[in-house]
Chains A and B, each alone.
Chain A
Amino acid sequence: MSGADTSLWPFVVYFFAVLALVATMLGLSWLLGQHRANAATNVPFESGALSVGSPQIHMAVEFYLIAIFFVIFDLETVFIFAWAVAFFELGWAGFISISIFILLLGVALVYELRSGALDWGIKTRSGAPTSTLTQEAQK
């Protein structure tokens, strides 16, 4: 128990320090701040200009999709890079391995293309991008 005590107490101090800091910040602003409720109290302060419109903008989901694909494929280059650095040491075994790896990446890309993940528009899993116009035409 004694060993644990000596190694633990900095953590305990740190923990309470964090608590104290947060409590101080919140408490001070509460103490020093004004307690009035006017019409403009809850309006965000933007250098005197009133903010316009809703902050909840609906971004098209495609942006996220493409960003995620980028992250995934970008990360995969790390492996290819690691292989390239040790190209001669790894020899044919490494070459075959990385070929399979790249092949799999290719298959994934093909799948994404075919299933319409990279197309802009309303998505279905079959990958046939049906725009609102064609949907209406079908009705």
Chain B
Amino acid sequence: MNIDDLQGLLPLLTLAAGATALMLQIAFARNIKLTSFLAVATLLAATLSIVWAGESAPRFVTPLLRADKLALVFSALFCVAGAVTAILSMDYLNNRGDEPEEYFLLLVLSTLGACVLAYASHLASLLLGLELMSVSLYALIAYPDKTKLPLEAAIKYLVLSGAASATMLFGFALLYATTGTLQFSAMAQQLANIDTGNITLLVASVMIVTGLGFKLSLVPFHMWTPDVYDGAPAPVAGYLASVGKAAVFVVLVRWFIASNLFRFSILIDCIALLAILSMLAGNGLALLQTNIKRMLAYSSVAHMGYLVIILVVGSDLAHRPLAIEAGMYYLIAYTATTIAAFGLLTLLSAGKSQKENIQLHDVSGLFWHQPLYACLMLVALLSLAGIPLTAGFVAKFYLISSAVSDGRWILLGSLAIGSSIGIYYYLRVVFYMTRRVEEHKNIPEAAHGLIEKFMTCTLIASILLLGIVPQSLMEYLRSILQLVN
């Protein structure tokens, strides 16, 4: 461990130090303003430290963590997403009272876990990051502990997540039994000599895929998603849906690439099956939802289905670079969009009315009394639906073109069917938002601070920029992924 190693780990160290400082601050001087400021400052400092950390990349810091550009890009994404979530939560928590300081501490810890996942190059660090992120999330979900729904959501997530982790650990054990290592690249050397029909290995990998697939809420491991999103506070649901999934997906991709699991075609077929099920069932479930949170939950199931297509496409070495690149871009676009969509729900339920579970009729007429927030939702929904000039379009475009180049027609067919169903339920929200409001209807009171307005504009701008000027980010991703591949 030398200075360069520490430099590579800088974002993780910053987050950990920030979390410690937050803990001490909460212990001695409880003050919500100070806490939220410290949390946002920590997250932003971690983001900035990535610039410096990049100088020593790429390098292995112990066999557990690999500080390369990919890890740094996604750490930056998670830190920024964490900061945005923290800022959007301020009003929300203020109006719910009851010592909200620990919320920010947990958020920083969860982000730390996500960043560890981005760095992970070893199954042990994968587990560490995953648990650090998830355990913080259990507490975050149950944070408004005065009502039943969040508690129910947290218990469900806790139990099922525990089961998923156990399955995954069993898979690790079997994998260790076959290969004798838990390190990704060392595993690759062992796997290269193993017959593609080796039963222990296949069962092991499928168990790990189950564990991670649970976190990604792939069908049939998706059942928890709507209930947990529904019960969780809106900002936490947004964080869980974006960072919680992106981090897991990054590590999944990294594991697949580093250990070259693409060789095992039957495993790839299984993933294709999960992708098809997720795309069809996710969209089918979302179709007539009137609860927007649940609708977004199902839509995230579908989006994860779209996303794992790239693992299938990546099994062909010729198309792997394009596929992985498309996947990484999709993750970034999806994270921004999801944060924006849940951000609107946060802002709407931030008011004194403490309205949770925004229904379709709650947003009706939003364009007329909250045009800015309605624009945020509009842009987010269009991006989720994949309409041109938004981030979602470019992401889906790359995804589809990589799948086309590999000739995965069944997956593409499901994607097309799923997307076209998706347009219905996304645009339904827009339709409700443009309705004229009846006179006597009470409108949920929304947050109206300057910071919230600023964040809204920033989110809108970033989604549009990702859709209009995607090329520089795309090229950057291409350049860093060449090193990873």
Instruction: Check B27–A93 contact: CB distance below 8 A.
Output: no
A126 to B30, CA, bound (A): 7
Chain B neighbourhood of A3, CB < 8 A = 199
Chain B neighbourhood of A124, CB < 8 A = 98-99
**Does A111 have its Cβ within 8 Å of any Cβ on chain B?**
yes
Instruction: Give the interface size bracket for A toward B.
Output: 10 to 19
Instruction: Check A111–B24 contact: CB distance below 8 A.
Output: yes
Chain B neighbourhood of A115, CB < 8 A = 26-27
Chain A neighbourhood of B199, CB < 8 A = 3-4, 7
Closest B residue to A124 by CB, please name it: B99
By secondary structure, the A interface counts as helix
A3 to B102, CA, bound (A): 55
Chain B neighbourhood of A110, CB < 8 A = 24, 27
CB-defined interface of B11-32 with A at 8 Å, one 1/0 digit per residue?
A: 0000000001001101110100
Given contacts A124-B99, A126-B99, contact A108 B23 (CB under 8 A): yes
A108 to B20, CA, bound (A): 8
Instruction: Check B27–A111 contact: CB distance below 8 A.
Output: yes
CB-defined interface of A106-139 with B at 8 Å, one 1/0 digit per residue?
A: 0110110111000000001110000000000000
**Does B1 have its Cβ within 8 Å of any Cβ on chain A?**
yes
Chain A neighbourhood of B30, CB < 8 A = 126
By secondary structure, the B interface counts as helix
User: Smallest Cβ distance from B154 to chain A, in angstroms?
Assistant: 16
**Does A12 have its Cβ within 8 Å of any Cβ on chain B?**
no
**Does A80 have its Cβ within 8 Å of any Cβ on chain B?**
no
Q: Which of A1-37 contact B (CB under 8 A)?
A: 3-4, 7
CB-defined interface of B183-227 with A at 8 Å, one 1/0 digit per residue?
A: 000000000000000010000000000000000000000000000
Chain A neighbourhood of B27, CB < 8 A = 110-111, 113-115
CB-defined interface of A50-75 with B at 8 Å, one 1/0 digit per residue?
A: 00000000000000000000000000
Chain B neighbourhood of A7, CB < 8 A = 199
CB-defined interface of B90-116 with A at 8 Å, one 1/0 digit per residue?
A: 000000001101100000000000000
Instruction: Check B20–A104 contact: CB distance below 8 A.
Output: yes
CB-defined interface of A78-114 with B at 8 Å, one 1/0 digit per residue?
A: 0000000000000001000000000010011011011
A126 to B98, CA, bound (A): 8
User: Smallest Cβ distance from B233 to chain A, in angstroms?
Assistant: 15
User: Smallest Cβ distance from A123 to chain B, in angstroms?
Assistant: 11
A111 to B26, CA, bound (A): 8
A136 to B102, CA, bound (A): 27
8 interchain residue pairs of minimum CB distance: A125-B99, A114-B27, A111-B27, A111-B23, A126-B99, A4-B199, A110-B27, A107-B20
16 A–B contacts, CB within 8 A, in A order: A3-B199, A93-B1, A104-B20, A107-B20, A110-B24, A110-B27, A111-B24, A111-B26, A111-B27, A113-B27, A114-B28, A115-B27, A124-B98, A124-B99, A125-B98, A125-B99
